[in-house]
Amino acid sequence: MITNPVIERIKQDISDNEVVLYMKGSPVFPQCGFSAAVVQILSNLGVRFKGIDVLTDPSLRQGIKEFSQWPTVPQLYVKGDFVGGCDIVREMYESGELEELLTERGVAAAQQA
Amino acid sequence: MAMNASEIERLIKDGIPDAIIVIEDLRGDGDHYAARVTSRAFIGKSRVQQHQMVYQALKGKMGDELHALALQTTAPSDA
Protein backbone atom coordinates (compact mmCIF):
# COMPACT_ATOMS: atom_id res chain seq x y z
CA MET A 1 0.00 0.00 0.00
CA ILE A 2 1.27 3.45 -0.86
CA THR A 3 1.14 5.81 2.08
CA ASN A 4 0.58 9.46 1.52
CA PRO A 5 2.90 11.44 3.82
CA VAL A 6 0.36 14.25 4.23
CA ILE A 7 -2.36 11.85 5.34
CA GLU A 8 0.08 10.16 7.72
CA ARG A 9 0.93 13.53 9.22
CA ILE A 10 -2.76 14.36 9.71
CA LYS A 11 -3.34 11.03 11.44
CA GLN A 12 -0.35 11.71 13.68
CA ASP A 13 -1.50 15.22 14.58
CA ILE A 14 -5.06 14.24 15.43
CA SER A 15 -3.89 11.34 17.57
CA ASP A 16 -1.19 13.35 19.37
CA ASN A 17 -3.54 16.20 20.26
CA GLU A 18 -6.93 15.93 21.95
CA VAL A 19 -8.45 18.81 20.04
CA VAL A 20 -7.16 19.92 16.65
CA LEU A 21 -8.49 22.67 14.45
CA TYR A 22 -7.39 22.81 10.82
CA MET A 23 -7.88 26.42 9.90
CA LYS A 24 -6.87 29.34 7.73
CA GLY A 25 -4.42 31.45 9.67
CA SER A 26 -3.42 30.95 13.29
CA PRO A 27 -5.65 30.99 16.39
CA VAL A 28 -4.28 34.46 17.17
CA PHE A 29 -4.66 35.74 13.61
CA PRO A 30 -7.35 33.77 11.78
CA GLN A 31 -7.41 34.58 8.06
CA CYS A 32 -11.03 33.66 7.48
CA GLY A 33 -14.28 34.44 9.24
CA PHE A 34 -15.31 30.79 9.51
CA SER A 35 -12.03 29.81 11.12
CA ALA A 36 -12.29 32.79 13.46
CA ALA A 37 -15.79 31.72 14.50
CA VAL A 38 -14.63 28.25 15.52
CA VAL A 39 -11.62 29.65 17.40
CA GLN A 40 -14.02 31.93 19.26
CA ILE A 41 -16.28 29.03 20.22
CA LEU A 42 -13.37 26.91 21.49
CA SER A 43 -12.08 29.88 23.47
CA ASN A 44 -15.53 30.47 24.96
CA LEU A 45 -15.54 26.87 26.13
CA GLY A 46 -12.03 27.24 27.51
CA VAL A 47 -10.78 24.34 25.40
CA ARG A 48 -7.08 23.98 24.69
CA PHE A 49 -6.54 23.07 21.09
CA LYS A 50 -3.86 22.86 18.48
CA GLY A 51 -4.49 25.13 15.52
CA ILE A 52 -2.95 24.02 12.24
CA ASP A 53 -2.74 26.62 9.48
CA VAL A 54 -3.47 25.03 6.10
CA LEU A 55 -2.49 28.20 4.24
CA THR A 56 1.17 27.52 4.95
CA ASP A 57 1.07 24.22 3.07
CA PRO A 58 -0.94 23.61 -0.13
CA SER A 59 -0.52 19.83 0.14
CA LEU A 60 -2.02 19.89 3.62
CA ARG A 61 -4.83 22.15 2.46
CA GLN A 62 -5.71 19.57 -0.18
CA GLY A 63 -4.89 16.55 1.99
CA ILE A 64 -7.19 17.46 4.86
CA LYS A 65 -10.13 17.68 2.44
CA GLU A 66 -9.40 14.23 1.08
CA PHE A 67 -8.82 12.78 4.52
CA SER A 68 -12.25 13.80 5.83
CA GLN A 69 -14.14 13.85 2.52
CA TRP A 70 -15.04 17.39 3.51
CA PRO A 71 -14.58 20.23 1.04
CA THR A 72 -13.93 23.14 3.35
CA VAL A 73 -11.73 24.42 6.14
CA PRO A 74 -12.06 24.89 9.15
CA GLN A 75 -12.32 21.31 10.36
CA LEU A 76 -12.50 20.34 14.01
CA TYR A 77 -11.20 17.02 15.36
CA VAL A 78 -11.73 15.72 18.88
CA LYS A 79 -9.76 12.69 20.02
CA GLY A 80 -9.05 11.73 16.45
CA ASP A 81 -12.62 12.03 15.20
CA PHE A 82 -13.87 14.59 12.72
CA VAL A 83 -16.59 16.66 14.38
CA GLY A 84 -17.49 19.05 11.59
CA GLY A 85 -16.93 22.38 9.96
CA CYS A 86 -18.03 25.82 11.06
CA ASP A 87 -21.80 25.30 10.65
CA ILE A 88 -21.91 22.04 12.57
CA VAL A 89 -19.61 23.30 15.31
CA ARG A 90 -21.73 26.42 15.71
CA GLU A 91 -24.97 24.43 15.80
CA MET A 92 -23.51 22.02 18.36
CA TYR A 93 -22.17 24.88 20.46
CA GLU A 94 -25.51 26.64 20.54
CA SER A 95 -27.39 23.48 21.52
CA GLY A 96 -24.85 22.53 24.17
CA GLU A 97 -23.90 19.34 22.30
CA LEU A 98 -20.32 20.43 21.76
CA GLU A 99 -19.65 20.88 25.45
CA GLU A 100 -21.34 17.53 26.08
CA LEU A 101 -19.17 15.83 23.48
CA LEU A 102 -15.99 17.33 24.92
CA THR A 103 -16.93 16.24 28.43
CA GLU A 104 -17.93 12.80 27.20
CA ARG A 105 -14.63 12.36 25.42
CA GLY A 106 -12.76 13.48 28.51
CA VAL A 107 -11.38 16.70 27.10
CA ALA A 108 -10.44 18.95 29.96
CA ALA A 109 -11.72 22.47 29.66
CA ALA A 110 -9.66 25.18 31.24
CA GLN A 111 -10.94 26.05 34.68
CA GLN A 112 -13.26 28.98 34.47
CA ALA A 113 -11.83 31.82 36.49
CA MET B 1 -16.47 32.67 -9.23
CA ALA B 2 -20.05 33.12 -8.22
CA MET B 3 -22.99 30.77 -8.51
CA ASN B 4 -26.62 31.71 -8.51
CA ALA B 5 -29.07 30.33 -6.00
CA SER B 6 -31.20 28.48 -8.55
CA GLU B 7 -28.17 26.53 -9.75
CA ILE B 8 -27.32 25.51 -6.20
CA GLU B 9 -30.90 24.44 -5.68
CA ARG B 10 -30.93 22.46 -8.91
CA LEU B 11 -27.75 20.58 -8.05
CA ILE B 12 -28.95 19.68 -4.57
CA LYS B 13 -32.30 18.60 -5.99
CA ASP B 14 -30.57 16.41 -8.60
CA GLY B 15 -28.59 14.66 -5.87
CA ILE B 16 -31.34 14.52 -3.25
CA PRO B 17 -34.66 14.48 -5.14
CA ASP B 18 -37.01 14.84 -2.16
CA ALA B 19 -35.07 17.72 -0.64
CA ILE B 20 -36.88 20.82 0.49
CA ILE B 21 -34.42 23.64 0.01
CA VAL B 22 -34.44 27.19 1.24
CA ILE B 23 -31.57 29.33 0.02
CA GLU B 24 -30.68 32.78 1.16
CA ASP B 25 -28.14 35.03 -0.55
CA LEU B 26 -26.55 36.46 2.57
CA ARG B 27 -24.78 39.42 1.06
CA GLY B 28 -26.43 39.73 -2.32
CA ASP B 29 -23.06 39.03 -3.94
CA GLY B 30 -23.83 35.57 -5.30
CA ASP B 31 -21.00 34.18 -3.24
CA HIS B 32 -22.23 33.83 0.34
CA TYR B 33 -25.27 31.68 0.79
CA ALA B 34 -27.13 29.96 3.56
CA ALA B 35 -29.11 26.85 2.72
CA ARG B 36 -31.54 24.87 4.79
CA VAL B 37 -32.07 21.42 3.40
CA THR B 38 -34.67 18.99 4.65
CA SER B 39 -34.86 15.45 3.34
CA ARG B 40 -36.00 12.01 4.38
CA ALA B 41 -32.65 10.78 3.07
CA PHE B 42 -31.07 12.36 6.17
CA ILE B 43 -32.93 10.11 8.59
CA GLY B 44 -30.53 8.10 10.69
CA LYS B 45 -27.49 9.97 9.39
CA SER B 46 -25.10 12.04 11.45
CA ARG B 47 -24.78 15.76 10.76
CA VAL B 48 -21.43 15.20 9.12
CA GLN B 49 -22.96 12.56 6.83
CA GLN B 50 -25.91 14.82 5.99
CA HIS B 51 -23.64 17.68 5.03
CA GLN B 52 -21.44 15.31 3.04
CA MET B 53 -24.51 14.24 1.04
CA VAL B 54 -25.21 17.85 0.15
CA TYR B 55 -21.58 18.50 -0.74
CA GLN B 56 -21.64 15.41 -2.91
CA ALA B 57 -24.70 16.71 -4.72
CA LEU B 58 -22.81 19.95 -5.34
CA LYS B 59 -20.19 17.90 -7.19
CA GLY B 60 -17.05 19.53 -5.89
CA LYS B 61 -18.30 23.06 -6.35
CA MET B 62 -18.34 23.67 -2.62
CA GLY B 63 -15.04 25.19 -1.56
CA ASP B 64 -14.30 25.98 -5.17
CA GLU B 65 -16.78 28.03 -7.22
CA LEU B 66 -18.97 28.22 -4.21
CA HIS B 67 -16.95 29.96 -1.56
CA ALA B 68 -19.38 30.09 1.29
CA LEU B 69 -22.49 28.06 1.86
CA ALA B 70 -23.69 27.92 5.43
CA LEU B 71 -25.53 24.63 5.66
CA GLN B 72 -28.25 23.48 7.96
CA THR B 73 -29.65 20.02 7.35
CA THR B 74 -32.73 18.49 8.92
CA ALA B 75 -34.45 15.15 8.72
CA PRO B 76 -38.24 15.59 8.68
CA SER B 77 -38.80 13.53 11.84
CA ASP B 78 -36.73 15.86 13.99
CA ALA B 79 -37.97 19.02 12.29
The domain segmentation of chain A, as residue ranges, is: 5-104
Chain A positions in Cβ-Cβ contact with residue B72 (cut-off 8 Å): 87, 91
Q: Under an 8 A CB cutoff, do A34 and B51 touch?
A: no
Which of B54, B58, B74 has the alpha carbon at shortest distance from B7? B58
Confidence (pTM): 0.88
Q: Name the closest residue on chain B to residue A66, using Cα atoms.
A: B60
Measure in Å the smallest separation between the Cα of B73 and chain A Cα atoms. Answer: 10
Q: Is the ipTM of this complex over 0.90?
A: no
A113 pLDDT more than 80: no
Map out the domains of chain B as residue ranges. 5-78
Decide the pairing of beta strands A75-78 and B32-38.
unpaired
Tell me the per-residue pLDDT of A34-83, one tens digit each, with 9 for 90 and over: 999 999 999 999 999 999 999 999 999 999 999 999 999 999 999 999 99
Q: Under an 8 A CB cutoff, do A70 and B68 touch?
A: no
Fold of A5-104: Glutaredoxin (3.40.30)
Chain A positions in Cβ-Cβ contact with residue B60 (cut-off 8 Å): 71
Q: Under an 8 A CB cutoff, do B48 and A34 touch?
A: no
Measure in Å the smallest separation between the Cα of B78 and chain A Cα atoms. Answer: 14
Within 10 Å of residue A82's Cβ, how many Cβ atoms?
Answer: 19
Is A78 within 8 Å of A101 (Cβ atoms)?
yes
CATH architecture of structural domain B5-78: 2-Layer Sandwich (3.30)
Coil vs helix vs strand at B42: helix
